[in-house]
Amino acid sequence: MDRYIRNKQLDGFGPEAQERLGQSRVLIIGAGALGSVAAMYLAGSGVGSLCVVDFDNIDITNLQRQLSYTEGDVGKSKAEALASRLRSINSEIEVEARNAFLRRADIAALVKDYDLVVEGSDNPETKYAVTESCEAVGIPYALGGVAQYRGQAMSWRSGYPGYSAFFPLGAEAGGYMPCSVGGVFGPAPGIVASIQASEAIKLLTGIGQPLLGRLLLIDVRTMKFQTVRMD
């Protein structure tokens, strides 16, 4: 009863919203700077079942921003290390790790088993595949992206514009630059990941106003926030 008391004390939240969280299944695609931080907040908040998917291993360069991992985790599977971290945060929830590279067919088969997807991959191709698969079967998602000092976040559920409505171009045409080339400001993904976790909780519980039909743009260097609407 005590673990989630700060949630239940919130205006508009209460025991009913907490119960919905406890019955929810969330898929985390990408265990990097976005997915790892968002997943920790979801575990702490009491989401009943979390599945983490990532094919990568932890590198020393990740530790500048992926604060769920330690120096002792370098070389380990991100999915398995994050799953272990989530279990240490909340032993009452179910946590699964999938150390796998997801192809489009894999994603389509996987998302239908969950109530919501947190999309935290680091490339547009995966984002298109994940969001299109979710939209095809009506699974809501909370999506984030980071480049250098900038970040973006949006949510989707049936009846609203999705990722491709805001980003109709492919990776090459859109000028995608990986962080291994352009760098990334360490706190930026933490801000975006926290927003993703907030969006996921709102979508799962029905509280508040998620970023539906809206794209939130963040520039951490100037601390300017802008919202783009797609009506």
pLDDT tens digits, 134-173: 999 999 999 999 999 999 999 999 999 999 999 987 655 5
In a 13 Å sphere around the CA of 196, the CA atoms on its Cβ side amount to 36
- pLDDT beyond 70 at 182: yes
Token digits for 124?
């547009």
- pLDDT beyond 90 at 92: yes
Least confident stretch, 17-26, 40-49, 160-169, 171-180: 171-180
CA 140/CA 126 separation, integer angstroms: 16
What pTM was estimated for this model as a whole? 0.95
Which pLDDT belongs to residue 181? 72
pLDDT digits (tens, 9 = 90+) for 62-74: 999 999 999 999 9
pLDDT digits (tens, 9 = 90+) for 72-87: 999 999 999 999 999 9
CA 82/CA 89 separation, integer angstroms: 11
- Give mean pLDDT, residues 10-15: 93
Token digits for 106?
């894999």
Which pLDDT belongs to residue 222? 97
Q: Which of the residues 27, 179, 211, 216 is marked catalytic?
A: 179
- pLDDT beyond 70 at 61: yes
Which pLDDT belongs to residue 176? 64
**Burial category of 91 from C-beta neighbours within 10 Å (exposed 0-12, middle 13-18, buried 19 and up):** exposed
Strands 224-229 and 25-29: unpaired
Assess contact for 26 and 49: CB atoms under 8 A. Answer: yes
CA 114/CA 202 separation, integer angstroms: 16
Closest by Cα among 36, 24, 83 to 204: 24
- pLDDT beyond 90 at 175: no
Provide the mean pLDDT of the chain.
Answer: 94
Which pLDDT belongs to residue 211? 98
Torsion over CA: 6, 198, 27, 32 (sign): negative
Token digits for 185?
């400001």
Torsion over CA: 175, 180, 181, 183 (sign): positive
Torsion over CA: 29, 32, 33, 36 (sign): positive
Q: Which domains does the chain have, with CATH numbers?
A: 5-229 (3.40.50.720)
- Give mean pLDDT, residues 95-106: 94
Our answer to whether residue 51 is catalytic in this structure is no
Token digits for 137?
């079967």
- pLDDT beyond 70 at 174: no
Which pLDDT belongs to residue 171? 52
Tokens 């990568």 sit at which residue? 56
